[in-house]
Amino acid sequence: MPSTLVHLALGGLLAAALLRESAFGRRAVGVVLLATVIPDLDSFVSPVLAGAHRSLGHNVLIPIALVGVLAYDARVRERSWLREHWGDAAPHVAWIALAGFAVAGVGLDYVANGVNLFWPVHDQFYTLNGRAGLSNQRGFFQTFVELTPETVRTTETLHYATGVDPSPGDEAEDVERVFPLVWAGWQLLLVATSAAVLAVRFARGR
């Protein structure tokens, strides 16, 4: 399961890659990183709303709604509210922040352990995981799309353990609460790469 630190690392790479020179700075990067961690805040709701983690903040409905809001502000309104209140770069930063939310926040969990993509309209966890390749005997093959999954996971049957809510129901007084930082070599590589890339961009800006 990717930790919040790993989510931030991917969000940092998105900020470094997509923010224009005129917009790049501590504030803009901070906005993107903040948007990246917002989906994981649903773990704090999990103790009072069973199955909230990976459902409440980890669905496609929120990013779709935000696309509509940003498009309305940029294309329909006579004067952009974001531009008026936060400057000319604000709409651009907002779009990159949305990418951080959707890709680094929701998307990384989608490909790792699964998210409740259409909650609360439809209660089922989905995972984008599998293999695709070319074989000299089978031709193209893939296991990403399974039209009839063996098990259907819902908020009633699945609980993602977090440091906030380690197990379903009430916790024992001596329960161990683990807040992961990096859980695999590729995660450590991603965190280190993100830190280095952001450092280089900030140094170039100076």
| SS3 labels along the chain | CCCHHHHHHHHHHHHHHHCCCCCCCHHHHHHHHHHHHHHHHHHHCCCCCCCCCCCCCCCCHHHHHHHHHHHHHHHHCCCCHHHHHHCCCHHHHHHHHHHHHHHHHHHHHHHHCCECCCCCCCCCCECCCCCEEEECCCEEEECCCCCCCCCCCCCCCCCCCCCCCCCCCCCCCCCCCCCCCCCCHHHHHHHHHHHHHHHHHHHHHC
Tens-digit pLDDT profile for residues 134-143: 999 999 999 8
User: Which whole number is the average pLDDT over 63-67?
Assistant: 97
- The one-letter code for the residue type at 138 is R
- The one-letter code for the residue type at 101 is F
pLDDT at 145: 81
Tens-digit pLDDT profile for residues 140-198: 999 888 767 778 889 988 888 888 988 888 888 889 999 999 999 999 999 999 999 99
Report d(CA 182, CA 176) in Å as an integer: 18
pLDDT at 24 over 90: yes
- Indicate the domain borders of the chain: 4-126+153-205
